[in-house]
Amino acid sequence: MTTRIDRRFETVQAEGRPAFVTYIMGGDPDYETSLRIMKALPGAGSDVIELGMPFSDPMADGPTIQAAGLRALKAGQTLRKTLEMVRAFREEDNETPIVMMGYYNPIYVYGVERFLDDAVNAGIDGLIVVDLPPEMDAELCLPAIQHGINFIRLATPTTDDRRLPAVLKNTSGFVYYVSMNGITGTAIADTSAVNEAVARIKGHTDLPVCVGFGVKTPEQARAIGASADGVVVGTAIVAAIANAAGDPVEAATALVRELADATRNARLAQAAL
């Protein structure tokens, strides 16, 4: 089964460029504003949207995304409302891939089968659940695949060649390479080391490899996009929303446009060197 994610990566690869993947926290700073931001992202240059599921104990998230999750929860965001956001988005956009990202606990409480049924009906294309290792694929990964939802796995600098096959076994859509060990939003690792890691992963899979956790500037986006199949930006966008002096939608889309342009031109910049 071909998903929106598969089609989008086929398109950007045919265009000879990396994809630009954006992350926002569902319901931050409130439902309506978050939905407005989400609807504006494709027009600003986002190829794939990662939508965070707010959770009270986000162990892999840095302070910026933790704060966004707490704002969303305080404003009344729930997993059901996050699914409603996707459904509302799909009323106007049936092409942009949407990946829900977060932790297993809210899904477990919601009920796995109920969640997957509702996710399909809402228009979800993929899942990134950071606290479910391959040894727990029966919990959510395999049922998600049976529902036609891509299950996207994280690889890290410590994922060596012995571990990588297990990580890749049931992964689909794309592989998310975490550019450093630690929490989101910290400084990105040396780009040459990231490029080497991407090449190593691509030696084990035909899936696109996207790089995130720390990409904040156009320069970083260009450097990563020269070798990766996609560049993921989250913390910088979430910070722009939180720190907006005016309309958070304008603050987010202005940054996304700048980073999207840098990502799209990454291969051209590399060729000119």
| In the chain, % of residues over pLDDT 70 | 94
Give the chain's domain count: 1
Q: Could you confirm whether 219 is annotated as catalytic?
A: no
pLDDT in tens, 209-218: 999 988 899 9
Q: Could you confirm whether 61 is annotated as catalytic?
A: yes
Catalytic residue selected from 6, 28, 47, 61: 61
Averaged pLDDT, 127-149: 96
pLDDT computed for residue 185 by the predictor: 47
Q: How far apart are CA 3 and CA 26, in angstroms?
A: 22
CATH no. for residue 171? 3.20.20.70
Averaged pLDDT, 40-47: 98
Position 181 confidence tier, pLDDT thresholds 50, 70, 90: low
Q: How far apart are CA 183 and CA 210, in angstroms?
A: 17
Average pLDDT, whole number, for the chain? 93
Averaged pLDDT, 152-180: 93
Show the domain range for 14.
Answer: 4-272
Q: Give ∠ CA 136-141-143 in degrees, rounded to 5.
A: 115
Phi, psi of 166 (to 5 degrees): -65, -40
- CA neighbor of 230 nearest in space, from 176, 193, 151: 176
User: Of the given ranges (53-62, 74-83, 134-143, 236-245), which has the lowest mean pLDDT?
Assistant: 53-62
Averaged pLDDT, 46-63: 90
Q: How far apart are CA 16 and CA 30, in angstroms?
A: 37
Catalytic residue selected from 6, 47, 50, 137: 50
- CA neighbor of 126 nearest in space, from 21, 202, 237: 21
Grouping H, G, I as helix, E, B as strand and the rest as coil, residue 102 is strand
- Edge-to-edge, what's the strand order for the sheet holding 154-155? 150-151, 126-129, 98-102, 48-52, 19-25, 230-233, 209-212, 175-178, 154-155
Averaged pLDDT, 225-251: 96
